[in-house]
Amino acid sequence: MDDRTALTAFAGLAQETRLQILRLLVRAGPEGLPAGEIGAAIGASSSRLSFHLTQLEQARLVTSRREGRFVIYAAAYPVLSDLVTFLMRDCCADRPEMCAPLSEARHD
């Protein structure tokens, strides 16, 4: 991941509703959730939800697919993994034990 792509991803996350949506989708797993369930879970109107999902898609943090009359959104795990790797790439140059807690991260 290059700097520009990382900045686009961070910009996509730099809003409370979008962060809530992404965390919800990460918990939902690769199968994702229909837009209506996402809106109900975070208490967002259809227009507000649509705006935020579009922002997350443009930042490549979520993907969407149509299943019948539903649009299913899912976290883009490879992009999220690349973003974490981007942040940690130069971490702890001579102290790898500093990065160990990342693999043992608690669920908040």
| Per-position DSSP letters for 20-55, written without gaps between them | HHHHHHHHH-TT-EEHHHHHHHHT--HHHHHHHHHH
**What predicted TM-score, i.e. pTM, was given to this entire model?**
0.83
Residue pLDDT, tens place only, 32-76:
999 999 999 999 999 999 999 999 999 999 999 999 999 999 999
Please check whether residue 42 is in contact with residue 24, taking contact to mean a CB–CB distance below 8 angstroms.
yes
Average pLDDT, the chain: 89
